[in-house]
Every structure is written in C-alpha cells, then in structure tokens.
Amino acid sequence: MTPAYVTSSRPAGVAREVEALAAAGCRDFVLRRVDSGGTLDLERLGAARYAAGFQSVVVLEAAPAPEPSSVPEAAAR
C-alpha cells in the first residue's frame, strides 16, 4: 500500500487529516516539510504519530538534495 501524503501545515490540521486517513484504513503516512525539518515540522510529526496510533508508520518527507556546485570542493581548496 502506498503511504498517504499529509499536507496540512498546522499540527491540529495534521491530526485531523491523519485521523480521517487512518479511519479509512491507511497505516503509512508521509508529512510534507513546511519548516525545513525545524520545530514546526517536529510538532506536526508528533501530532501525526499520536493520531495515527502505534501500528502506523509516520515519517517526514526526505530533504531535497542540495544543488550541485559549479566548482568542485576539492578544486576550491
């Protein structure tokens, strides 16, 4: 089963969204980053995990890959 993608930006909205999805049978959730993994994202992650329950998997989406630099770091040293 594919994970549900949760997009709400506030912890209360995340909890409501996850509860509705869990009631529909979903058990895997991915939270969209809104604070680059900062405090707000951690609060949202906690709300989602609480709403989803023990048998669910809740993760924060992976950070985007950094832009490749035009000059290799080894050459810059």
Whether residue 58 is contained in a domain is answered as yes
Whether residue 76 is contained in a domain is answered as no
List all residues 6 or more positions away from 57 whose beta carbon is below 8 Å from its beta carbon. 3, 27, 28, 29
Domain count, the chain: 1
Whether residue 75 is contained in a domain is answered as no
Whether residue 70 is contained in a domain is answered as no
The CA distance from 32 to 44, in Å, is: 10
What does the pLDDT look like over 4-23, one tens digit per residue?
999 999 999 999 999 999 99
Whether residue 72 is contained in a domain is answered as no
pLDDT at 76 over 60: no
Between 36 and 12, whose confidence is greater?
Answer: 12
Across the chain, which distance is largest between two alpha carbons, in Å?
Answer: 55
Whether residue 46 is contained in a domain is answered as yes
> Could you tell me the residue range of the domain that residue 29 belongs to?
4-62
Which has the minimum average pLDDT: 36-45, 48-57, 67-76?
Answer: 67-76
pLDDT at 48 over 80: yes
Whether residue 37 is contained in a domain is answered as yes
